[in-house]
Structure 1
Amino acid sequence: MNRKSGMTSIEITISLALILLFLSMIFPILRMTLKLEGSFLFQERIERNSSRLVEMLTKEIESSSFGEEEYRGREKLINGKGIYQLVGVKPSSLNESFFSDRREEGNMLFLEIPCVKNGKIYSKYYMYRFVGDTFLVSQCTNEFKNIYTNEEFILFDYVSGYFKQDKKGIKIVMKVKKEKNYIRELKDYALKGRKW
Protein backbone atom coordinates (compact mmCIF):
# COMPACT_ATOMS: atom_id res chain seq x y z
CA MET A 1 0.00 0.00 0.00
CA ASN A 2 1.36 3.34 -1.06
CA ARG A 3 0.58 6.18 1.38
CA LYS A 4 1.16 9.78 0.30
CA SER A 5 2.92 11.99 2.80
CA GLY A 6 1.08 15.16 3.88
CA MET A 7 -1.46 16.52 6.33
CA THR A 8 -5.12 15.76 6.35
CA SER A 9 -7.77 18.43 6.80
CA ILE A 10 -8.43 17.19 10.35
CA GLU A 11 -4.75 17.65 11.26
CA ILE A 12 -4.73 21.17 9.76
CA THR A 13 -7.93 22.09 11.63
CA ILE A 14 -6.53 20.85 14.95
CA SER A 15 -3.24 22.72 14.34
CA LEU A 16 -5.09 25.97 13.56
CA ALA A 17 -7.28 25.55 16.62
CA LEU A 18 -4.22 25.07 18.84
CA ILE A 19 -2.51 28.15 17.31
CA LEU A 20 -5.64 30.28 17.84
CA LEU A 21 -5.94 29.06 21.42
CA PHE A 22 -2.29 29.91 22.05
CA LEU A 23 -2.66 33.40 20.48
CA SER A 24 -5.83 34.11 22.47
CA MET A 25 -3.84 33.44 25.65
CA ILE A 26 -0.79 35.47 24.56
CA PHE A 27 -2.49 38.70 23.34
CA PRO A 28 -4.00 39.75 26.72
CA ILE A 29 -0.62 39.20 28.37
CA LEU A 30 1.11 41.20 25.63
CA ARG A 31 -1.48 44.01 25.90
CA MET A 32 -1.08 44.16 29.70
CA THR A 33 2.73 44.20 29.35
CA LEU A 34 2.61 47.12 26.91
CA LYS A 35 0.21 49.03 29.17
CA LEU A 36 2.48 48.51 32.20
CA GLU A 37 5.52 49.57 30.18
CA GLY A 38 3.73 52.77 29.14
CA SER A 39 2.79 53.47 32.75
CA PHE A 40 6.37 52.92 33.95
CA LEU A 41 7.73 55.18 31.18
CA PHE A 42 5.24 57.87 32.16
CA GLN A 43 6.22 57.64 35.82
CA GLU A 44 9.91 57.78 34.93
CA ARG A 45 9.34 60.89 32.80
CA ILE A 46 7.36 62.57 35.60
CA GLU A 47 10.09 61.76 38.13
CA ARG A 48 12.82 63.13 35.85
CA ASN A 49 10.92 66.30 34.91
CA SER A 50 9.83 67.07 38.47
CA SER A 51 13.40 66.64 39.71
CA ARG A 52 14.65 69.01 37.00
CA LEU A 53 11.95 71.52 37.90
CA VAL A 54 12.88 71.49 41.58
CA GLU A 55 16.59 71.76 40.70
CA MET A 56 15.90 74.74 38.41
CA LEU A 57 13.79 76.49 41.06
CA THR A 58 16.46 75.87 43.69
CA LYS A 59 19.07 77.61 41.52
CA GLU A 60 16.72 80.51 40.79
CA ILE A 61 15.87 81.02 44.48
CA GLU A 62 19.50 80.72 45.59
CA SER A 63 20.62 83.34 43.07
CA SER A 64 17.77 85.78 43.77
CA SER A 65 18.58 89.03 45.53
CA PHE A 66 18.29 92.76 44.92
CA GLY A 67 20.14 94.25 41.97
CA GLU A 68 20.83 97.92 41.37
CA GLU A 69 17.52 98.66 39.65
CA GLU A 70 14.72 100.38 41.57
CA TYR A 71 11.03 99.58 41.24
CA ARG A 72 7.94 100.37 43.26
CA GLY A 73 7.25 97.82 45.99
CA ARG A 74 10.69 96.17 46.12
CA GLU A 75 11.05 97.10 49.80
CA LYS A 76 8.19 94.65 50.51
CA LEU A 77 10.28 91.69 49.24
CA ILE A 78 12.86 89.72 51.21
CA ASN A 79 16.16 89.51 49.29
CA GLY A 80 14.31 89.83 46.00
CA LYS A 81 11.77 87.11 46.83
CA GLY A 82 8.08 87.16 47.63
CA ILE A 83 5.19 84.68 47.85
CA TYR A 84 1.68 85.78 46.85
CA GLN A 85 -1.78 84.32 46.42
CA LEU A 86 -2.95 85.18 42.91
CA VAL A 87 -6.47 84.29 41.80
CA GLY A 88 -7.62 84.53 38.19
CA VAL A 89 -5.63 85.87 35.27
CA LYS A 90 -2.14 87.24 35.76
CA PRO A 91 -1.93 91.00 36.22
CA SER A 92 -0.31 93.02 33.45
CA SER A 93 1.74 94.96 36.00
CA LEU A 94 2.90 94.36 39.56
CA ASN A 95 2.59 97.60 41.46
CA GLU A 96 3.31 98.64 45.04
CA SER A 97 -0.07 97.45 46.32
CA PHE A 98 0.55 94.02 44.76
CA PHE A 99 3.95 93.67 46.48
CA SER A 100 2.38 94.80 49.79
CA ASP A 101 0.22 91.65 49.88
CA ARG A 102 3.20 89.29 50.46
CA ARG A 103 2.25 86.08 52.31
CA GLU A 104 3.78 83.10 54.06
CA GLU A 105 2.00 80.71 51.69
CA GLY A 106 0.59 81.15 48.19
CA ASN A 107 0.40 79.90 44.62
CA MET A 108 2.82 82.46 43.17
CA LEU A 109 6.53 83.16 43.67
CA PHE A 110 8.17 86.39 42.47
CA LEU A 111 11.97 86.48 42.09
CA GLU A 112 14.46 89.21 41.21
CA ILE A 113 17.74 87.74 39.93
CA PRO A 114 20.73 90.08 39.43
CA CYS A 115 22.88 89.41 36.34
CA VAL A 116 26.07 90.93 34.97
CA LYS A 117 26.46 91.73 31.28
CA ASN A 118 29.33 93.78 29.83
CA GLY A 119 30.33 94.88 33.33
CA LYS A 120 26.86 96.26 34.09
CA ILE A 121 24.53 94.78 36.72
CA TYR A 122 20.91 94.40 35.73
CA SER A 123 18.07 92.22 37.00
CA LYS A 124 15.81 89.55 35.58
CA TYR A 125 12.35 89.18 37.08
CA TYR A 126 10.35 85.95 37.11
CA MET A 127 6.87 85.08 38.30
CA TYR A 128 6.23 81.36 38.91
CA ARG A 129 2.68 80.25 39.67
CA PHE A 130 0.38 77.27 39.98
CA VAL A 131 -2.90 77.69 38.10
CA GLY A 132 -5.37 74.82 37.97
CA ASP A 133 -3.34 71.82 36.85
CA THR A 134 -0.43 73.75 35.32
CA PHE A 135 2.75 75.37 36.55
CA LEU A 136 3.54 78.61 34.69
CA VAL A 137 6.38 81.11 34.47
CA SER A 138 6.36 84.72 33.26
CA GLN A 139 9.44 86.79 32.63
CA CYS A 140 8.81 90.35 33.77
CA THR A 141 10.37 93.69 32.81
CA ASN A 142 11.14 96.82 34.81
CA GLU A 143 9.88 99.89 32.97
CA PHE A 144 9.58 103.32 34.58
CA LYS A 145 9.98 101.72 38.03
CA ASN A 146 7.02 99.39 37.45
CA ILE A 147 7.20 95.63 36.93
CA TYR A 148 5.28 94.45 33.86
CA THR A 149 4.51 90.77 33.23
CA ASN A 150 5.18 89.31 29.81
CA GLU A 151 3.78 86.20 28.15
CA GLU A 152 3.33 83.13 30.35
CA PHE A 153 4.84 79.76 29.48
CA ILE A 154 3.82 76.34 30.77
CA LEU A 155 6.65 74.63 32.64
CA PHE A 156 4.73 71.57 33.78
CA ASP A 157 1.28 70.08 33.12
CA TYR A 158 -0.89 68.00 35.43
CA VAL A 159 0.53 69.50 38.60
CA SER A 160 -0.88 71.52 41.49
CA GLY A 161 0.88 73.04 44.44
CA TYR A 162 1.93 76.07 46.43
CA PHE A 163 4.96 77.88 47.85
CA LYS A 164 5.58 78.33 51.54
CA GLN A 165 8.04 80.53 53.44
CA ASP A 166 9.41 78.90 56.57
CA LYS A 167 12.50 79.15 58.77
CA LYS A 168 14.60 77.16 56.31
CA GLY A 169 13.69 79.30 53.31
CA ILE A 170 11.13 78.82 50.55
CA LYS A 171 9.52 75.42 50.21
CA ILE A 172 7.61 74.11 47.21
CA VAL A 173 4.83 71.58 47.73
CA MET A 174 3.82 70.01 44.44
CA LYS A 175 1.36 67.24 43.59
CA VAL A 176 1.99 65.58 40.22
CA LYS A 177 -0.96 63.81 38.59
CA LYS A 178 -1.93 62.53 35.18
CA GLU A 179 -4.03 59.45 35.63
CA LYS A 180 -6.16 58.27 38.55
CA ASN A 181 -3.63 55.57 39.35
CA TYR A 182 -0.65 57.94 39.45
CA ILE A 183 -0.61 60.79 41.95
CA ARG A 184 2.71 61.65 43.55
CA GLU A 185 3.21 64.38 46.08
CA LEU A 186 6.56 66.12 46.18
CA LYS A 187 7.05 68.11 49.31
CA ASP A 188 9.56 69.22 51.89
CA TYR A 189 11.93 70.51 49.26
CA ALA A 190 13.41 73.31 51.33
CA LEU A 191 14.64 75.74 48.72
CA LYS A 192 16.94 77.99 50.69
CA GLY A 193 17.75 81.47 49.55
CA ARG A 194 21.09 83.19 49.80
CA LYS A 195 21.87 84.56 53.24
CA TRP A 196 23.01 88.16 53.48
Structure 2
Amino acid sequence: MRSLVLLLTLLALSGCMHVSDLAQGAHDELSDAGLLDHSSTRRINNFRLQPDSFIYIAQGAFAPPGGAYPRPNVVAEEAFNGFIEYFPMVRRARAPEGLDDAMNEARAAGAHYLLYTRFAKADDRIGNFDEWSDQEAVDRLGIDSGVIQLMLIETSTRYLIDSARIHSRGGLLTLHDTKPEDLLGPPMEDYARSLLGVEAR
Protein backbone atom coordinates (compact mmCIF):
# COMPACT_ATOMS: atom_id res chain seq x y z
CA MET A 1 0.00 0.00 0.00
CA ARG A 2 2.81 2.37 0.89
CA SER A 3 4.52 1.80 -2.49
CA LEU A 4 1.24 2.44 -4.31
CA VAL A 5 0.83 5.81 -2.55
CA LEU A 6 4.45 6.68 -3.36
CA LEU A 7 3.96 5.71 -7.00
CA LEU A 8 0.78 7.79 -7.30
CA THR A 9 2.52 10.77 -5.68
CA LEU A 10 5.43 10.55 -8.11
CA LEU A 11 3.07 10.29 -11.08
CA ALA A 12 1.11 13.32 -9.88
CA LEU A 13 4.27 15.38 -9.39
CA SER A 14 5.75 14.37 -12.74
CA GLY A 15 2.71 15.81 -14.50
CA CYS A 16 3.25 19.22 -12.91
CA MET A 17 6.35 20.19 -14.88
CA HIS A 18 7.48 19.50 -18.42
CA VAL A 19 10.98 18.24 -19.16
CA SER A 20 11.74 21.40 -21.16
CA ASP A 21 10.79 23.51 -18.12
CA LEU A 22 13.15 21.45 -15.98
CA ALA A 23 15.98 21.91 -18.50
CA GLN A 24 15.38 25.67 -18.74
CA GLY A 25 15.23 25.93 -14.96
CA ALA A 26 18.52 24.05 -14.61
CA HIS A 27 20.13 26.28 -17.26
CA ASP A 28 18.93 29.43 -15.47
CA GLU A 29 20.21 28.20 -12.11
CA LEU A 30 23.63 27.27 -13.54
CA SER A 31 23.84 30.66 -15.29
CA ASP A 32 22.97 32.52 -12.09
CA ALA A 33 25.59 30.49 -10.22
CA GLY A 34 28.24 31.55 -12.75
CA LEU A 35 28.84 28.15 -14.31
CA LEU A 36 27.26 28.98 -17.70
CA ASP A 37 27.11 32.16 -19.79
CA HIS A 38 24.75 34.80 -18.42
CA SER A 39 23.39 38.10 -19.68
CA SER A 40 21.05 40.79 -18.40
CA THR A 41 19.25 43.34 -20.56
CA ARG A 42 17.93 46.67 -19.31
CA ARG A 43 15.52 48.54 -21.57
CA ILE A 44 14.19 52.06 -21.03
CA ASN A 45 10.89 51.41 -22.84
CA ASN A 46 8.54 48.50 -23.24
CA PHE A 47 7.85 49.33 -26.89
CA ARG A 48 6.70 46.61 -29.31
CA LEU A 49 7.40 46.40 -33.04
CA GLN A 50 5.38 44.78 -35.81
CA PRO A 51 6.89 41.58 -37.25
CA ASP A 52 7.01 43.16 -40.72
CA SER A 53 9.10 46.14 -39.55
CA PHE A 54 12.15 46.86 -41.70
CA ILE A 55 15.18 47.27 -39.41
CA TYR A 56 18.58 48.52 -40.50
CA ILE A 57 21.39 47.48 -38.12
CA ALA A 58 24.65 49.41 -37.80
CA GLN A 59 27.52 49.54 -35.34
CA GLY A 60 29.49 52.56 -34.25
CA ALA A 61 33.23 52.68 -34.85
CA PHE A 62 33.89 52.93 -31.11
CA ALA A 63 36.68 50.66 -29.85
CA PRO A 64 35.72 49.34 -26.41
CA PRO A 65 38.00 49.92 -23.44
CA GLY A 66 39.22 46.90 -21.55
CA GLY A 67 42.10 45.61 -23.65
CA ALA A 68 39.97 43.49 -25.99
CA TYR A 69 39.94 44.11 -29.73
CA PRO A 70 36.80 42.47 -31.16
CA ARG A 71 36.15 42.27 -34.89
CA PRO A 72 35.13 45.69 -36.23
CA ASN A 73 31.48 44.92 -37.09
CA VAL A 74 30.83 41.99 -34.75
CA VAL A 75 27.94 43.55 -32.79
CA ALA A 76 26.02 44.36 -35.98
CA GLU A 77 26.69 40.85 -37.30
CA GLU A 78 25.44 39.17 -34.12
CA ALA A 79 22.42 41.49 -33.95
CA PHE A 80 21.59 40.61 -37.56
CA ASN A 81 21.88 36.88 -36.77
CA GLY A 82 19.62 37.31 -33.73
CA PHE A 83 17.01 39.49 -35.46
CA ILE A 84 16.66 37.65 -38.78
CA GLU A 85 14.65 34.83 -37.19
CA TYR A 86 12.02 37.25 -35.86
CA PHE A 87 12.12 40.16 -38.31
CA PRO A 88 12.39 38.96 -41.93
CA MET A 89 13.10 42.47 -43.24
CA VAL A 90 16.52 43.15 -41.72
CA ARG A 91 19.62 44.61 -43.30
CA ARG A 92 22.96 45.50 -41.74
CA ALA A 93 25.79 47.85 -42.56
CA ARG A 94 28.91 46.33 -44.07
CA ALA A 95 31.30 48.25 -41.80
CA PRO A 96 31.15 50.38 -38.65
CA GLU A 97 29.89 53.90 -39.25
CA GLY A 98 28.77 57.04 -37.47
CA LEU A 99 25.18 57.63 -36.42
CA ASP A 100 24.44 60.19 -39.15
CA ASP A 101 25.84 57.96 -41.90
CA ALA A 102 23.90 54.97 -40.54
CA MET A 103 20.69 57.03 -40.45
CA ASN A 104 21.20 58.18 -44.05
CA GLU A 105 21.80 54.60 -45.22
CA ALA A 106 18.77 53.33 -43.30
CA ARG A 107 16.55 56.00 -44.89
CA ALA A 108 17.98 55.29 -48.35
CA ALA A 109 17.21 51.59 -47.88
CA GLY A 110 13.63 52.42 -46.85
CA ALA A 111 13.99 51.04 -43.31
CA HIS A 112 11.42 51.90 -40.66
CA TYR A 113 13.92 51.67 -37.79
CA LEU A 114 17.65 51.97 -37.23
CA LEU A 115 19.19 49.72 -34.58
CA TYR A 116 22.45 51.46 -33.72
CA THR A 117 24.81 49.40 -31.58
CA ARG A 118 28.20 49.73 -29.97
CA PHE A 119 30.55 47.65 -27.86
CA ALA A 120 30.77 49.84 -24.75
CA LYS A 121 33.10 47.57 -22.77
CA ALA A 122 34.92 44.30 -23.36
CA ASP A 123 37.10 42.36 -20.94
CA ASP A 124 38.89 39.46 -22.63
CA ARG A 125 40.39 37.30 -19.90
CA ILE A 126 42.92 34.51 -20.36
CA GLY A 127 41.03 31.44 -21.53
CA ASN A 128 43.62 29.19 -23.20
CA PHE A 129 47.32 28.35 -23.14
CA ASP A 130 48.20 30.69 -26.04
CA GLU A 131 46.73 33.68 -24.22
CA TRP A 132 48.53 32.60 -21.04
CA SER A 133 51.88 32.45 -22.85
CA ASP A 134 51.25 35.95 -24.26
CA GLN A 135 50.21 37.64 -21.01
CA GLU A 136 51.39 35.43 -18.11
CA ALA A 137 49.40 37.44 -15.58
CA VAL A 138 47.48 35.63 -12.87
CA ASP A 139 45.12 38.58 -12.42
CA ARG A 140 44.01 38.21 -16.08
CA LEU A 141 42.69 34.66 -15.52
CA GLY A 142 38.92 34.42 -15.38
CA ILE A 143 35.72 34.78 -17.31
CA ASP A 144 35.09 37.18 -20.19
CA SER A 145 32.52 39.95 -19.96
CA GLY A 146 31.16 42.74 -22.09
CA VAL A 147 28.63 45.56 -22.28
CA ILE A 148 26.63 46.41 -25.40
CA GLN A 149 24.60 49.58 -25.87
CA LEU A 150 21.67 49.64 -28.30
CA MET A 151 19.55 52.49 -29.64
CA LEU A 152 16.40 51.83 -31.68
CA ILE A 153 15.55 54.96 -33.68
CA GLU A 154 12.57 55.58 -35.95
CA THR A 155 14.02 56.73 -39.28
CA SER A 156 11.15 59.01 -40.34
CA THR A 157 11.15 61.13 -37.16
CA ARG A 158 14.59 60.35 -35.66
CA TYR A 159 12.72 59.59 -32.45
CA LEU A 160 14.48 57.28 -29.97
CA ILE A 161 12.02 54.40 -29.59
CA ASP A 162 14.09 52.28 -27.22
CA SER A 163 17.50 52.16 -25.63
CA ALA A 164 19.00 49.08 -24.03
CA ARG A 165 22.13 48.00 -22.22
CA ILE A 166 23.18 44.35 -22.34
CA HIS A 167 25.72 43.09 -19.83
CA SER A 168 27.03 39.61 -20.61
CA ARG A 169 29.55 37.43 -18.86
CA GLY A 170 30.92 33.98 -19.48
CA GLY A 171 30.73 31.01 -17.17
CA LEU A 172 33.30 28.81 -15.51
CA LEU A 173 32.31 25.84 -17.68
CA THR A 174 32.50 27.87 -20.91
CA LEU A 175 35.59 30.04 -20.34
CA HIS A 176 37.99 27.99 -22.47
CA ASP A 177 38.97 29.68 -25.73
CA THR A 178 36.16 32.26 -25.81
CA LYS A 179 36.09 35.99 -26.47
CA PRO A 180 33.63 38.68 -25.28
CA GLU A 181 32.04 38.75 -28.75
CA ASP A 182 31.17 35.05 -28.39
CA LEU A 183 28.67 36.01 -25.68
CA LEU A 184 26.53 38.28 -27.90
CA GLY A 185 24.28 35.82 -29.74
CA PRO A 186 21.72 34.76 -27.08
CA PRO A 187 21.13 38.26 -25.62
CA MET A 188 20.57 39.68 -29.11
CA GLU A 189 17.94 37.01 -29.78
CA ASP A 190 16.33 37.79 -26.42
CA TYR A 191 16.22 41.49 -27.29
CA ALA A 192 14.62 40.74 -30.67
CA ARG A 193 11.99 38.58 -28.95
CA SER A 194 11.31 41.31 -26.39
CA LEU A 195 10.69 43.81 -29.20
CA LEU A 196 8.01 41.47 -30.54
CA GLY A 197 6.60 40.71 -27.10
CA VAL A 198 7.47 37.02 -27.48
CA GLU A 199 8.25 35.13 -24.30
CA ALA A 200 11.96 34.47 -23.71
CA ARG A 201 13.22 30.93 -24.19
- The alignment's TM-score, normalised by the length of structure 1, stands at 0.29
Greater RCO (CA < 8 Å, at least 6 residues apart): 2
**Larger C-alpha radius of gyration, 1 or 2?**
1
Greater share of strand: 1
- The alignment's TM-score, normalised by the length of structure 2, stands at 0.28
Greater share of helix: 2
